[in-house]
A and B are shown apart, each in its own frame.
Chain A
């Protein structure tokens, strides 16, 4: 089961996934406790116009810059909008997502090869990851993990008890911006190689699956990283086998996502079983009478 990864491009793909596993294990814990699934999903879509503009302006080099600018812009806009009381934060997120993505579509729809551009954006080009991209991912991984380590304590406090954190003197707005910018950086680091659909999965699924088996934050991050590693390995193997032996053009990104989702589904009964053993004494109160999801 090792020999497919002796092929250089498969080896590089696995290396890229392993780097992302290191980042996304811890980052997804914050996405989970702050309930930022939708924000993560939005960020993966909103970098699209940045990718398009960057590519038109500066070719492959401009692409990362464009994505970075669009990602940071979204992080700021989302932080500002969700702190204002005039729109519910899910509606604000939805509107930013659709508007930015539509701008991207408008920009590409004037070109001829528009559908293949979209497909590349969705699924990335995991199998054509270059050594240079891997170096860039390493650099971003270092930045992201350091920034996360510095902010972790304050971010957890804020996630658990917003009023208490504010009373203790933490600046809630800045903390929210900090986390959103970190998410944007993860998206930028990963989107070109693995595509939006895998980035969303990497930001949401690891911690959500790990939560099924543990109540603790650090084990959640570690298990999350392990799941991404396992899912990445199995997914790449699956897409390799599917295309080599069965002639099915299963993109490696989809295969990895499916493996991660499979892990989530397999661990779901563990959670239910654990809950049955100790029923929480007090029924959960909804955060808001209107809140049904997220």
Chain B
């Protein structure tokens, strides 16, 4: 019997791959404050995935196409204004989900699909799913490594980046599209809530330990994989939903980091204090 035939083995492999993927992108999401955008993407790509399954094309393709449209729309909006951007992202969350649910309603098997959308079904991952995740991981890692400099520059100081010839708007879109790719790959396996949790919590924990982005990335990947494995073990041991236990493990890592690190002044990525200097 092949090692990959075991459900648990496939789940472990998927969790490791997903952990690496979410840890990599998570640092960018946390530093650039894109958590809500990520949440919106998980919901807004939902109708695309449903539509793809109705038409009978590849689900990943459906998700990527919708996600790209959404990301471009958000990028266009955020260049303009703050309040509207937050609200528009919120509109995406509710509108995307309602549209997806409406599309699902035209089919049968209604409630099961919806709840697996939320909490995922990591125990039904197939070997082809694993291959797709691995390929996406390679692509995302390549993009983030090759483009790390302009991404950092455009994110930290858009005006300065433009002045020195880096096209800030263009690099923002590159980052948003990379997040789209991650979200679309991860959500079917682990669900929307867990996807958000694994992207944000390990990276936020890593940021508490270091200000240096390469180190933070390494830590985030480690935290994400570790919480994935622990969560999976807990899930099997006590028979609770895998998505939820992994998400709680990731939260526990953040809480522990919070407790272990003394407060200090963080140079980069912090919000302005209640009373800005």
Interface residues of A (CB under 8 A from B): 31-33, 35-38, 40-41, 45, 82-83, 85-95, 97-99, 101-103, 105-106, 109-110, 114-116, 118-119, 122-123, 162-163, 166, 172-173, 197-198, 200-201, 203-205, 207-208, 211, 248-251, 253-255, 257-258, 260-261, 264, 284, 286-294
Contacts and interface: CB of A to CB of B under 8 A. Distances in A.
Specify which of A38, A114, A203 lies most central, judged by the most chain B CB atoms within 10 Å of its CB. A38
A201 B94 contact: yes
Contacts of A264: 91, 95
A95 B99 contact: no
Given A99-B251, A211-B87, A288-B271, A38 B39 contact: yes
B101 A290 contact: no
A294 B39 contact: no
B36 A38 contact: yes
Contact of A86 (B34, B244, B258): B258
Interface in B186-219: 193-194, 196-197, 200-201, 203-204, 207-208
Given A99-B247, A119-B111, A289 B157 contact: yes
B186 to A, nearest CB: 13
A294 B111 contact: no
Give the one of B34, B80, B101, B194 with max A CB within 10 A.
B101
Interface stretch (B8-16, B54-62, B112-120, B137-145): B112-120
Contact of B95 (A106, A249, A257, A288): A257
B83 A35 contact: yes
Nearest to A204: B90
- Label chain B's interface by main secondary structure: helix
Given A38-B89, A106-B248, 5 more contacts: A31-B87, A95-B254, A203-B90, A204-B90, A292-B172
Contact of A118 (B98, B115, B196): B115
Interface stretch (B17-25, B127-135, B262-270): B262-270
Contacts of B276: 163
A162 B196 CA distance: 30
B85 interface: yes
B111 A288 contact: no
Contacts of B193: 45, 97-98, 101-102, 105
A112 to B, nearest CB: 12
Ranked nearest first, the 3 interchain pairs of A and B with the lowest CB-CB distance are: A37-B90, A208-B87, A98-B197
Contact of B35 (A91, A173, A211, A249): A91
A37 B87 contact: yes
B150 interface: no
Given A90-B33, A106-B248, A293-B33, A85 B240 contact: no
A292 B274 contact: no
A170 to B, nearest CB: 12
Given A102-B244, A249-B105, A290-B33, A261 B91 contact: yes
A110 B239 contact: yes
B82 interface: yes
B87 to A, nearest CB: 4
Contacts of A204: 87, 90-91, 93-94
Contacts of B80: 284
A201 B40 CA distance: 13
- Sorting the interface of chain B by its residue count into under 10, 10 to 19, 20 to 34 or 35 or more gives 35 or more
A88 B91 contact: no
Contact of A208 (B88, B172, B248): B88
Nearest to B273: A85
B81 interface: yes
B119 A86 contact: no
Nearest to A258: B98
Contacts of A198: 94
B200 to A, nearest CB: 4
B223 interface: no
Contacts of B254: 95
Given A95-B200, A288-B271, A38 B90 contact: yes
A258 B102 CA distance: 9
A163 B272 CA distance: 11
Interface string B93-109: 11101110110011000
Contacts of A40: 90
Contacts of A89: 271
Contacts of B36: 37-38, 41, 90, 93-94, 293-294
A201 B111 contact: no
Contacts of A292: 32-34, 37, 78, 155, 172
A254 B87 CA distance: 19
B31 A290 contact: yes
B233 interface: no
